[in-house]
Amino acid sequence: KLSGAYRLSVEGAPYRDTTPLARALVEVAPERCVWGSDWPHVSTWTPMPNVGDLLDLLADWVPDEATRNRVLADNAHRLYGFKS
């Protein structure tokens, strides 16, 4: 699951230092990646992230639109067995 950038980031918002890891995961197994907001944000050691900013970061993590659709919808559809 591609999520929790605010937990992994050393730099803090906007969490750009997490992009290389996320891109590596997507490059190796795009058919196995799903995105998550990581809500509810229960972290008490970092400021609560803005979910809109996290979603914007996804465009950096997965720049290809077709792959991003796969990560946001197709993979979850298959994983959870949603009916079309």
pLDDT at 67: 98
In this predicted structure, what is the pLDDT of residue 44?
A: 64
The contacts of residue 44 (CB under 8 Å, 6+ apart) are: none
Please check the confidence at residue 6 and state whether its pLDDT lies above 80. yes
State mean pLDDT over 4-30. Answer: 95
Residue span of the structural domain in which 36 resides: 5-80
Gap between the Cα atoms of 32 and 19, Å rounded: 17
Tally of domains within the chain: 1
CB-CB neighbours of 76 under 10 Å: 16
pLDDT in tens, 27-76: 999 999 999 988 887 776 777 888 888 989 999 999 999 999 999 999 99
Checking if the pLDDT of 12 tops 80, the result is yes
For the packed helices 19-28 and 51-61, what is the interaxial angle rounded to 10 degrees?
60
Would you please indicate which residues are annotated as catalytic (active-site) residues?
38
What is the distance between the alpha carbons of residues 6 and 29, in angstroms, rounded to a whole number? 22
